[in-house]
Every structure is written in C-alpha cells, then in structure tokens.
Amino acid sequence: MPKFVVLKLYNMPLTANHKPLKSHYDVVLIGGGIMSATLGTLLHELDPTLNIVIFERLGRFARESSAAWNNAGTGHSAFCELNYTPEKEDGTIDISKAEQIAEQFEISKQFWSYLISKNYIDKPTEFINSCPHMSLVFGKDDVEFLRKRHEKMTQSHLFKEMEFTTDHDQLREWIPLIMSKRKETEILAATKMDLGTDVNFGTLTRKMGRFLAEDSNVDVYLYHDVKDIDPNADGTWEVEVKNRLHGHKHHLTADFVFIGAGGYALPLLDSSDIPESEGYGGFPVSGQWLVTHNPDLIAKHQAKVYTLATVDAPPMSVPHLDLRIIDGKKALLFGPFAGFSTKFLKEGSYLDLPESINLKNIRSLFGAWWHNLPLTQYLVRQVAMTKDQRIQHLREFVKDAKEEDWELKIAGQRVQIIKKNEQEGGKLEFGTEVVVNENGTIASLLGASPGASTGAFAMLQVLEKCFPDKVAKDWKDKLQEIIPTYGQSLAENPELTKRIRNYTKEKLNLDY
C-alpha cells in the first residue's frame, strides 16, 4: 500500500510526503541516487521488519550523478576501459583490476535480474541494453599494447569473447562513422566485446525508488535535506533534517545511517565527527559532453568506443564516443570534457568547496594540489576550450564532424577524494571508497569511479562491514538468492560464469 499522500515518484515530481516523520528509525538513508536506492532495496529484502527512511533533497530520485545524461551510462565491465589494464615495467599487462570490475558488474546484473524476477521493477530494456564495448588505439606502439592486452585478456574466460583487429575492412564494419574518410595507411587497432551494455542508471534508480515508495514499508521523503548527523551517547545517531518546502526542521534518531549523498557525502561525513572521516577533502570536477541526435550519424555508430587518456589527463577523462539509449531513443555522446565548478552537486552551492576546507583537511588539500599541478593545468586548458576546439577533438574520432550536428550538454559533478597521505600531505584518489566507523553504525560512499555499475557490489561491502554477523548467518541464504554467485569467484569458475551470464541475459533481455 502507498504510504504517503503525494505519489507519482516514478514519472512526476513529488511535492512532499505529508506523513509525519517518526522519532526513531532503524536505518536512515541519505540521498535518492542509485546507491541509497540499492542499499534500501537490499536491506528491505533482507529484513522487511526494518524501519527504513530515505531522505532526498530534490523533488525526484536520480537527479544528480545517477541521471542518464549526467553520466556516460557505460556498464563498466572492464571490456573497453584501457586504464584498468596497466602495462607493468616488465612489459606484461596486469588484468587483475579488470577481472575485479568485470566480476562486480556481474553482481549488479544479478541484483537487477532478481528485482525483475520479483516484479519489483519491470521492462529491463528501459534501463539496460546490449551495446558492444570497444577499445580503439592509434599508432604502432599503442597497437602493440592493445595486441598484448588482447592476448592476455582472452586467456581469462571473463574476456574470452574479445575480438581484436587492425584490418580496415573489419574496422569499417565495426565502426563506420570513425573509419569514414580515414587513410588506408593509418595504423590503428580495436578490440570488441559484444557482451557490453549501455545502462540508464536514472531510470533504474527511479524504478527502485518507485518500488520502495509504493510497494514496500520504506518511508521516502523528497525535498528533505539532511543537515547534520551527530553521535548520541547511547551509540545511536541524531539526524537533523530540513523540509525544503516549508523550512521546518526535524530531529530524529537512527541506529544506522548511510550517507549516499553523492558530492555532499563528504561534508555530511565530516559533520558526523567520526575519526575515520578525518583528513578527507574533495576536489570537484564537472564534465561536459558533445551530443548528437542525428539519425544518419547514429546509424553508423552502434558501440561504446574508449581510447587511451593523454599523458596529463586523469583517468575519468579518457575520451570515448558512445551509443546511448535513453527513453527509447538513440543518441551519440562524445567526451567527457572536464570543467571546473566549486559546487559539489549540480544543484549544489558555489560555496561547497570553500566551506569544505577546515583545519583537519587543509594539509591534505594543499598536498594533493601541489603534487597534481599537471592535473590543474589540464583542467585549466579544458575549461578554456571553445565549442570549436571541442569539435576539433571530436574530429580525431569523426573526421568530418560538423558543429551544427553536436550540442554541448553539462554532465554530472564528480567530487574526487583527497586522502591524507604521510609523504605528500594528501593524495588524489580516482576510485570509490566505502568509509565506515569502528562499530559499523555509519557508512558513506566517497568517489565516483567505476561508480553506478558496481553499486550493488559497493552496497554489499557496506552490509559486510556494518552487519557482519547478520551477513554471515541470518541473511546468508537470502543474499545467495539475490546474488546467486555471492561469495564465489567468477574469475576462477568458467562454468559458473557461463551459467550466470546466461541467467542475467535472459532476465535482462540482453542480446549476449
């Protein structure tokens, strides 16, 4: 039964939840992005008696990083991202990180398949579609790197279907738009994995949000901004939440708090005063895409094509030309181009960055900045680019790209984590980190990569760290039902990989 007055969470904005807030919840989830929606669904499924509430400061779920156009929609499985397979000093390729990411995405697909089989969410093609993942490199040295990488990766059954070519005819078949007007003498190579996917994380998050708000006993409050989290003497948390429509403030207590607030996770974690949050700082990097809806161009590009990052570029700025499938319509996206804003969320405040600096993290912030001057220079150059210069970049992919076909779209805001580091003062981190206090009563997700694709894995980590006894005993069987491969290694088990990929292919209506 619906639990609040104004519904329509999925398609329309909610105005407000008029149901009075309880004074105590077992679980408070902050933020209506993919992470809180995933954790809320998992917790509700593992223990339906839990008293759970989700607060979202905006009028709808998934309006920040999880929104379709705010991210690239790549179902990151390490099929195409060259930064997951570094070349070691001895010239061999290290694929261990790629194997981890591939396994983590299989966990997400199992979780979504479970939600489909329970009818909690429906119509998988509205949020996930098959889309080949390709890596493309130019020049003799990089072609050699890709050849070696392909040889190494196909020894693992996780990547054994990966194809490699340097042949222009084959490439024209795979990526006609990129190959158009290219000289026969040009040296380039590509790999292709048909198993890749494009994911609309926004629609997926809202589908989970609809389930939680309408078909579960989880309370969902939109336009509710969590302002402060303080520890109580009895081990619970005091949470201050402000209704943004009326300006009323409420105080409630919670046994467990998850901060899934995206860019705002850092200041909220800081407000909790847990020692584990000390020394963290945030560095906001905004992004932009070039997007085209021209059907002639789209017909000639049906893949996600990732290249190598330039020497000074951070890993999240690897250029890629991607097919997107959003609300049933196809489009192409190229980028990202980095931008700079002092906001921690797209709908945040310009004071976010200055207000986040305090005595505990200033050394980390300064250290990270000092040791990353090339990154600063890279960002300055990116920010100063005109549309014409961005189109010039695109022409490295699409030789005859025309400015009038492409529009500039603002992507989501990332807050890269800066972590305390003895040698450098502070170090810029590009991964995702789950921060948990000593007794596992508060957890937060910091960072943005590989992001939404590995959300189910990240939320399982939260459960394992914060509810270890339950995970080991009471919740064990249910977890196994939700994630059939839970606790097993796919990298070591070809039969299991095949079986689970067939299962998720069928449930999610994928081609491969």
**E strands, 368-406, in order:** none
Which CB sits closer to ligand FAD, 188 or 448? 448
Q: Closest CB to ligand FAD among 116 and 199? A: 199
The SS3 of residue 138 is strand
Left if phi > 0, otherwise alpha if psi is -120 to 50, otherwise beta: which for 265? alpha
Which residue, 107 or 226, has its beta carbon nearer to ligand FAD?
226
Task: Find out whether 22 and 3 touch, Cβ atoms under 8 Å.
Answer: no
Count of residues touching ligand FAD (by CB under 6 A): 41
Give the dihedral sign, CA 272/274/275/280.
Answer: negative
Is 411 an interacting residue with respect to ligand FAD (CB under 6 A)? yes
Task: Give CA separation, 29 vs 38, 307, 383, in Å.
Answer: 10, 37, 35
Q: Binding of ligand FAD at residue 66 (CB under 6 A)? A: yes
Residue 97: C-alpha distances to residues 84, 90, 131, 151, 431 (Å): 6, 18, 22, 16, 12
**Nearest approach, Cβ of residue 343 and ligand FAD (Å):** 12
Which range binds ligand FAD by CB under 6 A, 165-173, 181-189, 261-269, 476-484?
A: 261-269
Distance in Å, CB of 88 to ligand FAD, minimum: 26
Asked if 453 and 75 touch (Cβ cutoff 8 Å), the reply is: yes
Per CB under 6 A, the segment of 4-12, 254-262, 274-282, 483-491 that binds ligand FAD is 254-262
CB of 454 to ligand FAD, least distance (A): 7
CB 453 within 8 A of CB 204: no
34 is a site residue for ligand FAD (CB under 6 A): yes
Under the binding rule (CB under 6 A), the answer on residue 56 touching ligand FAD is yes
- Gap between the Cα atoms of 343 and 415, Å rounded: 9
Q: Residues near 138 by Cβ (< 8 Å), separated by ≥ 6?
A: 186, 187, 188, 307
The answer to whether residue 210 forms part of the interface with ligand FAD (CB under 6 A) is no
Q: Are 238 and 253 in contact (CB under 8 A)?
A: yes
Note whether 325 binds ligand FAD by CB under 6 A: no
Cβ 312 to ligand FAD, closest distance in Å? 19
- Is residue 262 within the footprint of ligand FAD (CB under 6 A)? yes
How many angstroms separate the CA atoms of 207 and 61, rounded?
9
Which of 391, 448, 462, 508 binds ligand FAD (CB under 6 A)? It is: 448
Regarding 209 and contact with ligand FAD (CB under 6 A), the answer is: no
What are 312's two structure tokens?
């000074």
- Contact between 99 and ligand FAD per CB under 6 A: no
The answer to whether 103 contacts ligand FAD (rule: CB under 6 A) is no
Tokens 């190959």 -> residue: 179
Cβ 74 to ligand FAD shortest distance, Å:
3
Nearest residue to 72 (alpha-carbon basis) of 449, 404, 424, 395: 449
How far is CA 164 from each of CA 138, 146, 193, 340, 435, rounded to the nearest angstrom?
Answer: 14, 8, 9, 37, 39
CB 211 within 8 A of CB 121: yes
Q: How far is the CB of 243 from ligand FAD (least distance, A)?
A: 11
Smallest distance from the beta carbon of 336 to ligand FAD, in angstroms?
5
Tell me: does residue 379 bind ligand FAD (CB under 6 A): no
Which of 111, 112, 211, 264 binds ligand FAD (CB under 6 A)? It is: 264
Stretch that binds ligand FAD, among 44-52, 64-72, 356-364, 502-510 (CB under 6 A): 64-72
Residue in 17, 65, 77, 110 binding ligand FAD, rule: CB under 6 A = 65
314 contacts ligand FAD (rule: CB under 6 A)? no
Does 461 engage in binding with ligand FAD (CB under 6 A)?
no
For residue 262 the two structure tokens come to: 């995206």
Token pair 């104004």: residue: 6
| Residue placing its CB nearer to ligand FAD in the complex, 137 or 345 | 345
Q: Which of 45, 142, 219, 225: binder of ligand FAD (CB under 6 A)?
A: 225
Distance CA 261, CA 470 (A): 25
Extract the tokens encoding 492: 């070591």
Interacting span for ligand FAD (CB under 6 A) from 129-137, 371-379, 421-429, 448-456? 448-456
User: Is omega for the bond preceding 494 within 30 degrees of 0, making it cis?
Assistant: no
User: Rule CB under 6 A: is residue 317 a binding residue for ligand FAD?
Assistant: no
Binding site for ligand FAD (CB under 6 A): 30-36, 55-58, 63-66, 70-74, 76, 201, 225-226, 260-262, 264, 268, 287, 336, 345, 411-412, 414, 445, 448, 450-453
